[in-house]
């Protein structure tokens, strides 16, 4: 399931992020690549342990902690601290699948990567190329969203970033361990929650059908969720 979430960051927040990121000390992305990814990863990345990556990452996490669409889609249990990457001319990231388990920095916690997220921080007309291509059961899906928008997709998906031919592409990326591990169960819960929200808007929260459908959602969540 591929889900796009609009306006995770508002325009003024994106502008503040860009002011910090445009002055940041970018390093070779190969420094953090695994043995296989090193052959296909050609981009730039911020040092996660230094500013501005730390404060900007915390801002994203605070925003997502109260974002209804994100919570509904991801049912997050743990979130890996957001990272930041930059693609300038001729830079790219070839086809790869994200690692399955990751150690959360400065903790003893391990995160299972159920969902991958890319939060775009440059407008589509600021660069040419640079599409995030995600292989799905319906074929490749190319994603290039407005600044402040985010895409969520299964971490099991083969994906790549096409070469940037002009301009600069900046984004934040991170991973989520969901309380509901199964992709199909998570998709059903998201669709059901979307229906509950629509029914609430149309009939009200106390209407018997709204209450019944909401109860079904929570009973399924109770059955399928396995919080850490």
Flag whether 169 is marked binding.
yes
Q: Model's pTM, two decimal places?
A: 0.95
- For position 22, what pLDDT does the model report? 95
Contact 145, 123 (CB under 8 A): no
Query: Which two three-digit tokens encode residue 134?
Result: 């995600």
Closest by CA to 158, choosing from 132, 128, 187, 119, is: 132
Instruction: Give the model's pLDDT for residue 33.
Output: 66
Q: Which superfamily is assigned to 3-178 in CATH?
A: q2cbj1_9rhob like domain (2.60.120.620)
Task: Give the per-residue pLDDT at 32.
Answer: 75
Neighbours of 2 (CB within 10 A): 13
Beta strand extents in 12-162 (DSSP E only): 27-28, 41-42, 44-45, 76-79, 83-87, 92-96, 101-103, 110-112, 115-120, 127-129, 132-136, 139-143, 150-154, 159-161
pLDDT of the residue at 192: 98
**Look-up: residue for tokens 């902690």?**
65
48 in a labelled binding site: no
What's the confidence (pLDDT) of residue 34?
A: 64
State the pLDDT at residue 154.
Answer: 97
Same fold, 3-178 and 183-224: no
How many CB atoms are closer than 10 A to CB 124? Answer: 16
Low-confidence residues in the chain, pLDDT < 50: none
CATH code for residues 183-224: 4.10.860
Domain map (residue ranges) of the chain: 3-178, 183-224
pLDDT per residue as tens digits for the range 104-158: 999 999 999 999 999 999 999 999 999 999 999 899 999 999 999 999 999 999 9
Nearest residue to 13 via CA among 120, 132, 112: 120
């Amino acid at each position: 399931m591929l889900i796009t979430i609009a306006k995770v960051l508002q325009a003024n927040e994106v502008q503040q992020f860009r002011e910090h990121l445009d002055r940041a000390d970018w390093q070779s992305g190969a420094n953090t690549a695994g043995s296989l990814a090193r052959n296909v990863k050609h981009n730039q990345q911020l040092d996660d342990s230094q500013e501005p990556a730390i404060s900007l990452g915390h801002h994203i996490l605070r925003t997502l902690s109260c974002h209804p669409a994100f919570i509904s889609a991801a049912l997050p249990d743990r979130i890996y601290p957001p990272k930041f990457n930059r693609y300038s001319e001729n830079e790219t990231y070839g086809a790869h699948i994200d690692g399955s388990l990751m150690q959360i920095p400065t903790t003893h916690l391990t995160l299972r990567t159920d969902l991958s997220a890319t939060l775009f921080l440059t407008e589509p007309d600021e660069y040419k190329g640079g599409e995030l291509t995600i292989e799905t059961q319906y074929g490749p899906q190319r994603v290039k969203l407005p600044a402040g928008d985010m895409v969520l997709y299964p971490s099991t998906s083969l994906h790549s970033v096409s070469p940037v031919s002009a301009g600069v592409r900046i984004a934040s990326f991170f991973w989520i361990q969901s309380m509901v591990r199964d992709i199909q169960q998570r998709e059903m819960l998201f669709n059901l929650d979307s229906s509950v929200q629509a029914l609430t808007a149309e009939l009200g929260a106390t209407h018997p059908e709204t209450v019944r459908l909401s109860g079904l959602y929570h009973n399924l969540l109770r059955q399928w969720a396995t919080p850490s």
